[in-house]
A and B are shown apart, each in its own frame.
Chain A
Amino acid sequence: DTAVSQTPKYLVTQMGNDKSIKCEQNLGHDTMYWYKQDSKKFLKIMFSYNNKELIINETVPNRFSPKSPDKAHLNLHINSLELGDSAVYCCARSWMTGDEQYFGPGTRLTVT
Chain B
Amino acid sequence: KQEVTQIPAALSVPEGENLVLNCSFTDSAIYNLQWFRQDPGKGLTSLLLIQSSQREQTSGRLNASLDKSSGRSTLYIAASQPGDSATYLCAVSDGGSQGNLIFGKGTKLSVKP
Contact = CB atoms under 8 A, between A and B. Distances in A.
A107 B105 CA distance: 19
Interface in A67-112: 90, 92, 94, 96-106
Nearest to A45: B100
B66 interface: no
Contacts of A2: 43, 45-46
Interface residues on A, range: 20 to 34
Interface residues on B, range: 20 to 34
Nearest to A106: B43
Interface stretch (B21-29, B73-81, B87-95): B87-95
A96 B105 CA distance: 25
Interface of A: 2, 4, 31, 33, 35, 40-45, 48, 55-56, 58, 90, 92, 94, 96-106
Interface of B: 31-32, 34, 36, 38, 42-46, 49, 87, 89, 91, 93-103, 105-106
